[in-house]
Chains A and B, each alone.
Chain A
Amino acid sequence: MNSFQQNKRSRRTLLLLTLIVFIIAGVDYASAGFVRTSIRDAVSMVQGGVFKMVSAVSAAKPLSSRQSLLDENARLKEEMRTLSSYAIQNEILKAENNALRSLVRLQEDTSPGISARIVSSFRSSPFSTVVIEVGESAGISVGDYVVIQGGFAIGTVSEVGERSSLVTLFTAPEQTVAVQIGGASVEMRGRGAGNAVAELPREIVISEGDAVLLQGSRFAAGVVGRIESTPANASKRVFVVVPVSIQSERFVTVFPGAL
């Protein structure tokens, strides 16, 4: 086969496979995500296995002392982060308490939540989403809150498979959620790459570190980071941050029907 024929054949293969992928995509779209939930279930099983294997290997005894020191260092850093998040959490609880008092319809949610392992990497997701290892079989449903340690809700379940679920972070592009900042109800808008902003009237007095509470729930979406305000503008921009490193989280708690 000469190079011209080879070139023609590879072009035909590309065209054919592009068509096949788009046909499968069409089938998935028409079946409201049947193909993707099946693929996600399968990949979640594989990734879950890989993560278990990696953690088993890294927890093995015959490792070098340097590695164990590095691990201990990382563990102590994580502990420090956790303790500082508890301090912030205290402030959040105070603010939450005040906010709850002002709510007309206070719901007592005493459900313990469902613990789930994160099986995808935060860094690998181009759309600010993560996959967790529990699904419909564990009682997860769309709209459930996904909470990390410290009581910060990081997103909601947007799609559920049999054994895995897709979580869309509040910081995902175009993602909006109603929050309370400084007693004012506003909309927080995700901007991707771990960023979210909210617009607040200028007269509302807030400061960095104030709690950002999810409207109608007992969880915080983060704390106030930077505040941008200009005299020419009637509103100010508030950047919301989560004081805990989300990327280091391996487990989350899902609260079914937390709203």
Chain B
Amino acid sequence: MRHIFSGVTLLSALFMPVWVFLVLAFGFSLRYRAWEVICIAFIIDCIYLSTDGIFGIPFFATLVASVLVWGLEPLRNRFVFR
């Protein structure tokens, strides 16, 4: 299940509108400790973002994904790893 989730999230990052990726990444991070989301966000940064970054942040998507995955840790602990 996890492999399917990560494959679909990766494909959505490359070929689907941004919101699809965001929804999948959120769902994936909520269910699993999804290090895959951080890796996919890093790939997004590498493909679509220049070295200068956006708003002065060079790895914007990676940072957002890290905050998402680590930020959902308490919620995930409460609902998934009881």
Residues of A within 8 A of B (CB): 3, 7, 10-11, 13-14, 17-18, 21-22, 24-25, 28-29, 32-33, 35-36, 39-40, 43, 47, 50, 120-121, 123-127, 129, 131, 158-159, 166, 168, 172-174
Please, which residues of chain A bring their CB within 8 A of the CB of B49? Answer: 36, 127, 129
Check A21 against B16 for contact (C-beta < 8 Å): no
Check A174 against B55 for contact (C-beta < 8 Å): yes
Check A28 against B46 for contact (C-beta < 8 Å): yes
Please, which residues of chain B bring their CB within 8 A of the CB of A29? Answer: 51, 58-59
Nearest Cβ in chain B — how far from A122, in angstroms?
10
Query: Can you pick out 30 interface pairs between chain A and chain B where the beta carbons lie within 8 Å of each other?
Result: A13-B35, A18-B35, A18-B38, A21-B38, A21-B42, A24-B42, A25-B42, A29-B58, A33-B50, A36-B46, A36-B47, A36-B49, A39-B47, A40-B46, A43-B46, A43-B47, A50-B15, A120-B47, A120-B48, A121-B16, A123-B16, A124-B16, A124-B18, A124-B21, A129-B48, A129-B50, A159-B51, A173-B54, A173-B55, A174-B55
User: Would you call B14 an interface residue if the criterion is a C-beta within 8 Å of the partner chain's C-beta atoms?
Assistant: yes
Knowing A3-B81, A174-B55 touch, does A126 contact B14 (C-beta < 8 A)? Answer: no
Interface size class of B (residues with CB under 8 A): 20 to 34
The complex places the Cα of A126 from the Cα of B43 at a distance, in Å, of 12
Check A7 against B47 for contact (C-beta < 8 Å): no
How many cross-chain pairs have Cβ atoms below 8 Å apart between A and B? Answer: 100
The complex places the Cα of A59 from the Cα of B54 at a distance, in Å, of 39
Please, which residues of chain A bring their CB within 8 A of the CB of B38? Answer: 17-18, 21
